[in-house]
Amino acid sequence: MGAVWKLCVESHGSLAPVLDVRAAAPRGGIEDAHLGDWVAYRIDELLRDDPFVLPWDMDGEALLPGLRAWLVEHAVERLAGHADPLLAPKVALLALAPEERWAACSELVASAG
């Protein structure tokens, strides 16, 4: 995923084109499986606003807000059937202010038992 993202940013200056293609993909396909794998691997970094969630040679601080917004808008529904039932609700927490996310995440995990 990183190489495609890097190429997109180098040619367009944003992640929007690759995210638009992903948003248009049919739900439940291989694209959603790959999205789920990547988000599951990176959810803690996303919740912390870690700019290194994107490849190191990208401007993560500039690109991260758009990625978070896309994930909240599109990924929550796409990840609803993921093997980790908390993944989609954790992604939804990206809509919160950074200082609110970890407390909400802790409550979410505690309520799941």
- Number of domains comprising the chain: 1
| Percent of the chain's residues with pLDDT above 70 | 94
Show the domain range for 80.
2-112
Mean pLDDT, rounded, for 23-48: 91
Residue 65 has pLDDT above 80, yes or no: yes
pTM of the predicted model as reported, rounded to 2 decimal places: 0.87
| pLDDT number for residue 71 | 96
The whole-chain average pLDDT of the chain stands at 88
Token readout for 6 is 């890097």
Calculate ∠ Cα 87-93-97, nearest 5°: 155
* Distance separating alpha carbons of residues 98 and 59, to the nearest angstrom: 19
